[in-house]
Amino acid sequence: MRFEEPVLLYGAGREAISTAAFLKAHQPDLKLYVTVDSGQADIPGTEQIAADDLGMAIRDHRFGLIVKSPGVSRYKPVFDIARHSGIPVTSNLNLWGATYRHGRTVIAITGTKGKSTTATLTHLMLTRSGIDAGLAGNVGVAPLDIADRHPVVIFELSSYQTADMNFLPDIAAVTNLYPEHVDWHGSVERYYADKLHLINRDGSFPVALGAGAKGNALVAHAVRDHRRLLRELTTEELAAIDKVAIGSRLKGSHNVDNARLAAQIALAAGASLEGVVAGIAAFVPLPHRLEEHQFGGTIFVNDSISTTPEATKAALAAYKGFRIALIAGGHEREQDYTELASLLAGYGVTTLACLPVTGARLASAAIAAAPHITVLAEPDLASAMHTLSGYSKQFDAIILSPGAPSYNQFKNFEERGVRFVGLAQAIFG
């Protein structure tokens, strides 16, 4: 692969850095530009183009290709300018496909929630079965960083990546489907279409569906032909999986569903049942997903990765029997909290601390649905934690499961989670 014209990197995060390294390794003399909508664009060996000047730069054909980072919406008007100017737009994932796809078994996993856990479990099951497999995407490494090191590659893919994925997997899986990322996609309908583009393709590759995807009419339509579905697990396989899951570090019934889905995928890719069981036993929870700590006799659950109400419901269900203080709310993505609010009391929530901006809607819905729950409107996470310290007799556990992204007050969900644990130790420890 050789590029005759300069390349623009749109975005400067992990994937953009990976793309820059790949391009320079293959073509050291290639001119690289970089554009960001906000933040720093300090990728070595690149020249910055201001976002306000990008449209003119495209019209002037200062580069012949745009490599878009996942966080940059493909529906931005600037990409219409690129299309009209005849400048193609691609991604780190699609560059991997063009360079390394041939001769490899590709497993692609998506879904609104559970895809990271499912992909991680699938990887563990395959490697514990003696299969040389790599993990890339939103967990593991960026696609181009995994290069050609493994004959089997598992990709955990967001809707940002599946939207324009231009090569076919050998096995695809969808964990579930709920509204999310409306700000990026422009509408819930387009989010669904972009997410399901992974499977709604010409091709005979098999598809596995998680418990939350089965029975979904949109998913069924995207599958096209039920004969593409992977076989169901046998009674013996289910019994072995459920037995080991009970004693593993998988929390909640939703994670047992993820383990079953991962087993379907792994067995189809050549894993043994012994490897599947060993993979579940070896699983370590991903950072910021039901990550448990204890300070001063109180349990603190860092579920900062939760960005949808459905994820928050799963977190609460994992702590059945506890009296819970829930911290929720964050960046606006048109989340609907009505159902979550109606379920809070049943999940054991006694105290609810709501953060800007979506927390205001959750607070209103909770007051209407469960007026006996203590509802606190707090300006930020630190205030919420300090206030909750005065209500400590009302709960056994504090769960940060925001049901919303972090961008209005934090750089990312990782920063939010680290802050939560630090505050828990400082205030309650």
pTM of the complete model: 0.90
111 is in an annotated binding site: yes
113 is in an annotated binding site: yes
Q: Which of 232-236, 296-300, 408-412, 425-429 has the lowest mean pLDDT?
A: 408-412
For residues 249 and 265, give the distance between their C-alpha atoms in angstroms, rounded to a whole number: 20
Give Cβ neighbours of residue 98 (< 8 Å, ≥ 6 apart).
1, 167
252 is in an annotated binding site: no
pLDDT of residue 128 exceeding 80, the answer is: yes
pLDDT tens track for 351-400: 999 999 999 999 999 999 999 999 999 999 999 999 999 999 999 999 99
pLDDT of residue 1 exceeding 80, the answer is: no
pLDDT tens track for 274-329: 999 999 999 998 889 999 999 999 999 999 999 999 999 999 999 999 999 999 99
pLDDT at 41: 87
pLDDT at 220: 97
Angle of helix 235-246 relative to helix 253-268, nearest 10 degrees, comes to 130
pLDDT tens track for 242-260: 999 999 999 999 999 999 9
Exposed, middle or buried: residue 362 (CB in 10 Å: 0-12, 13-18, 19+)? buried
pLDDT of residue 423 exceeding 90, the answer is: yes
pLDDT at 285: 86
- pLDDT classification of 181: cutoffs 50, 70, 90: confident
pLDDT at 253: 92
For residues 421 and 60, give the distance between their C-alpha atoms in angstroms, rounded to a whole number: 49
Strand order in the sheet with 374-377: 291-295, 298-302, 397-400, 324-328, 349-354, 374-377
- Of the candidates 116, 131, 252, the residue with the CA atom closest to the CA atom of residue 173: 116
**What is the percentage of the chain residues whose pLDDT exceeds 70?**
100
Instruction: Output phi, psi for 174, to 5 deg.
Output: -125, 120
- pLDDT classification of 106: cutoffs 50, 70, 90: very high
76 is in an annotated binding site: no
215 is in an annotated binding site: no
Do residues 188 and 179 make contact, with C-beta atoms less than 8 angstroms apart?
A: yes
pLDDT at 39: 83
pLDDT tens track for 329-357: 999 988 899 999 999 999 999 999 999 99
38 is in an annotated binding site: no
- pLDDT classification of 407: cutoffs 50, 70, 90: confident
Element (H, E) at 179: none
pLDDT of residue 171 exceeding 90, the answer is: yes
pLDDT tens track for 71-81: 999 999 999 99
The percent of the chain in helix, strand and coil, each rounded to the nearest 5, is 40, 15, 40
pLDDT at 333: 84
For residues 65 and 328, give the distance between their C-alpha atoms in angstroms, rounded to a whole number: 41
Q: Which of 38-42, 62-66, 125-129, 202-206 has the lowest mean pLDDT?
A: 38-42
114 is in an annotated binding site: yes
Token match 């707090």: residue? 378
